[in-house]
């Protein structure tokens, strides 16, 4: 037992020394801790950590709420685009076979297309926040929050549209799983952006003209 304990202690020492000598390791560790803490403010904490941890390399030395909100938004848009690609392919196949469930999938695709547009607008609006230096932060932030809420609703409407439909088991399950994941990721993105906006809105508020 003593040998095992000593070996374990030695490994801890080696890891500590290695970490101390590599700033990149320390940065990734801090970024991971920051993500885990901020994800506690979302409804889907585990999913939040899994999604955003893949983008730890995108963080600079100092992690900020702004960085996290921007990354989460880009993750949402990427997920929306991949979901649209899948549902588009399913719709094409159903149309070719003249399946009776084609209309339900087409309606879902319309919602996802709108969601992609809304999230794309959010990305552009965030860029405007950077360009304007925060002088019109409340206005831009409000737009982003509204469009993200709409994108989340789009995903929810798509899922509701499948209620009672007899679409093939695997196809229906796959569409619902992808769209549900999109809805949850967008919810996470909205929660993190709200957290960022609430934190920085007062300091970016436009001063009244005299």
Position 152 in a domain: yes
- For residue 149, being part of any structural domain is answered with yes
> Is residue 104 in some structural domain?
yes
Q: How many whole angstroms separate alpha carbon 148 and alpha carbon 90?
A: 25
Percent of the chain with pLDDT over 70: 78
**pLDDT score recorded for residue 5:** 54
How confident is the model over 171-195, as pLDDT tens digits?
888 999 999 999 999 999 999 999 9
Is the predicted pLDDT of residue 8 greater than 90, yes or no?
Answer: no
Is 177 a domain residue?
Answer: yes
Range name among 8-22, 56-70, 81-95 with the lowest pLDDT average: 8-22
Look up the CATH number of the domain holding residue 131: 1.20.140.40
Top pLDDT among 190 and 55 is at 190
pLDDT at position 204 is 52
Q: Which domain holds residue 38?
A: 26-55+63-204
Task: Kindly state whether residue 3 falls inside one of the protein's structural domains.
Answer: no
Please report whether residue 175 resides in a domain.
yes
* From 40-44, 53-57, 142-146, 203-207, the region with the lowest mean pLDDT: 203-207
Cα Dmax for the chain: 76
User: How many domains does the chain contain in total?
Assistant: 1
User: So what's the pLDDT on residue 21?
Assistant: 45
Tell me, yes or no, whether 210 lies in a domain. Answer: no
């Amino acid at each position: 037992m003593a040998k095992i304990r000593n070996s374990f202690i030695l490994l801890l020492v080696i890891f500590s020394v290695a970490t101390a000598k590599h700033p990149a390791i320390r940065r990734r560790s801090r970024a991971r801790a920051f993500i885990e803490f901020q994800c506690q403010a979302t409804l889907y904490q585990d999913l939040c950590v899994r999604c955003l941890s893949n983008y730890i390399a995108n963080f600079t030395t100092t992690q900020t709420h702004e960085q996290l909100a921007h990354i989460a938004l880009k993750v949402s848009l990427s997920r929306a685009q991949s979901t649209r690609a899948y549902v588009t392919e399913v719709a094409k196949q159903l149309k070719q076979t003249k399946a009776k469930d084609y209309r339900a999938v087409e309606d879902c695709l319309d919602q996802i297309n709108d969601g992609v547009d809304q999230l794309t607008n959010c990305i552009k609006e965030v860029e405007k926040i950077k360009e304007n230096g925060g002088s019109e932060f409340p206005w831009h932030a409000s737009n982003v929050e509204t469009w993200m809420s709409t994108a989340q609703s789009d995903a929810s409407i798509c899922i509701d549209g499948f209620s009672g439909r007899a679409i093939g088991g695997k196809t229906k399950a796959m569409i619902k799983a992808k769209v549900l994941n999109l809805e949850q990721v967008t919810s996470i993105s909205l929660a993190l952006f709200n957290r960022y906006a609430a934190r920085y809105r007062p300091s970016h508020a436009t001063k009244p003209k005299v």
